[in-house]
A and B are shown apart, each in its own frame.
Chain A
Amino acid sequence: MKDRKQILTADDIRRALVRIAHEIDERNGGLHDVILVGVPRRGVPLAERVAAAIADFEGVQVPVGQLDITLYRDDLRTRGPAALIGKTNIQPDLTGKAVVLVDDVLYTGRTVRAALDAIADLGRPACIQLAVLIDRGHRELPIRADFVGKNVPTSRSERVMVHLREVDDVDEVVIERANT
Chain B
Amino acid sequence: MEHPPRRHQVIDLDDLSTEEIEEILATTESMKEVLSREIKQVPALRGRNVVNMFFEDSTRTRISFELAARALSANIVNFTARGSSVEKGESLIDTVRTLQSLGADIVVIRHSQSGAPYLVARHFQGAVINAGDGRHAHPTQALLDLFTIRERLGQVRDLRVVIVGDIVHSRVARSNIWGLTRMGAHVTLCAPPTLLGPSQHWLATWPNLTISHSLDEAIKGADVVMALRLQKERMQAGLLPSLREYTRAYGITPERLAQIGEGTLIMHPGPMNEGVEISPEAATAPNSVIEAQVTNGVAVRMALLYRLAG
Which residues of A line the B interface, CB within 8 A?
68, 70-73, 76-77, 79-89, 92, 117-118, 121-122
Contact = CB atoms under 8 A, between A and B. Distances in A.
Contacts of A83: 2-4, 23
B22 to A, nearest CB: 9
Given A68-B30, A71-B34, A81 B41 contact: no
Given A80-B6, A117-B43, A86 B30 contact: yes
Contacts of B30: 68, 70-71, 85-88
B42 A121 contact: yes
Nearest to B23: A83
Nearest to A123: B38
A73 to B, nearest CB: 8
A80 B3 contact: yes
B307 interface: yes
Contacts of B42: 71-72, 118, 121
Contacts, number: 64
A72 B44 contact: yes
B33 interface: yes
Contacts of B26: 84-85
B207 interface: no
A35 B44 CA distance: 26
B43 A81 contact: no
A80 B44 contact: no
Contacts of B3: 79-83
A76 B27 contact: no
8 closest Cβ contacts across the A-B interface?
A71-B42, A85-B30, A80-B310, A71-B44, A83-B2, A83-B4, A80-B3, A121-B39
